[in-house]
Structure 1
């Protein structure tokens, strides 16, 4: 089965008072998701608008990606397919298992 789709993402940025805010909108043609992000300029740093734009936009897109991933997990669960369990971002894999030497 072949499936083609085109989704569009638009990012809008605004800066006011040293804070840049970003809004990333994913339009699937049948629905929308909106991610938000912001970045503040440290008062001691030189204001470089492009850096604030990059940070705020990347944070908005990260928010959007998280929402999309959670939506996919919900859709999988609704079909009876459990998503992969969350994995720890730190430690060793065996730390998550019972350890007889620790009384578990």
Structure 2
């Protein structure tokens, strides 16, 4: 069974004057929307390198969305009668 889909991701980054970067990520699958957030805080003694804050905040927002997406998939797997795996890495469809 062939299947193709396209999901849209929007990532917004905001940095304030105190060195805090906030990330807001929205994943739209067509059927649902998942929102993730992440933050990074620069120590006042550290050099001001905005890319580092962006990377950390974005990575944390993506990690947040990934965890939500895996939980949704596990609920869907249970909803079709499949057993819940004992470890998250085992989640998948039987062959």
TM over 0.5: yes
Within a 5 Å distance, the mapping from 1:1-104 to structure 2 comes to 1-16=1-16, 17-86=18-87
Q: Work out the CA distance in 1 between the residues paired with 2:84 and 2:4.
A: 24
**Please, which runs of 5 or more residues in structure 2 have no aligned partner?**
89-95
Alpha-carbon distance between aligned partners in 1 of 2:61 and 2:81, rounded to the nearest angstrom: 31
CA distance in 2, matches of 1:78, 1:31: 16
Rounded Cα–Cα distance in structure 2 between residues aligned with 1:43 and 1:86: 40
Instruction: Figure out how many residues of one structure are paired with residues of the other and give that number.
Output: 87
CA distance in 1, matches of 2:43, 2:83: 43
Give distance in 1, aligned partners of 2:25 and 2:84.
Answer: 26
- SS of 1:59's equivalent in the other structure is helix
The answer for unaligned runs of 5 or more in structure 1 is 88-104
Q: Tell me the TM-score normalized by structure 2.
A: 0.86
